[in-house]
Amino acid sequence: MKIYQYENGYDEYVETQTFHNKRKLGRVYFKEHTGKIIKEHKPGATNIICHGTRNGAEQKYFKSVFKNSYVIGTEISETATQFEMTVQHDFAIPKAEWIGKFDILYSNSFDHSIDPSKTIDTWKKQISYDGKIFVEWSDYYNAKSTLSDPVSGTTEEFISFLESHNVVIEEFNKKFGLLMCNVR
């Protein structure tokens, strides 16, 4: 995998992510079919976190199908405060109250990470004992590291990266680019 190097470090990263979040605020990448696959694998989930959610579409979907569950999403931009079930937070930074909490961790934004190793290590700690990490990855969209999408690589490279961080790929849905992962 390749990682874009910001000349001005973390501040430039946050500024760039915020700019592109605002530019794409009305766009939704999350697809209902992805949510249905996740629901099939973890039908009894009670705590769900979605990382890099832009406008909260993921949380709305999960709350509609996991009606009694706690659902939260993160977004690095201050626009997070505009959307219910969303907090402004860098998904790579640990929060003590989230350690071991979530049955489902979902993201289609791993390519937005400034530090993939720190990100996956944080995410691994957030899932519950029998929790699952669901990450969407696309060879097409993740072909090149850019200012807005700093992490790139093929699906094979991404899987290799995850495995090198003791993440077990339980299933890969090639049609939708969805990896279901476990750390136990």
Domain regions of the chain by residue span: 2-22+32-141
CB 142, CB 149: distance < 8 Å: yes
CATH for 2-22+32-141 is: 3.40.50.150
Distance (Å, whole) CA 129 – CA 95: 17
pTM of the model: 0.95
Give the tens place of pLDDT for each residue, 25-43: 888 888 999 999 999 999 9
Distance (Å, whole) CA 104 – CA 126: 9
Percentage of the residues of the chain whose pLDDT score is greater than 90? 85
Residues 6+ apart with CB under 8 A from 18: 76, 77, 78, 79
Give the tens place of pLDDT for each residue, 44-95: 999 999 999 999 999 999 999 999 999 999 999 999 999 999 999 999 999 9
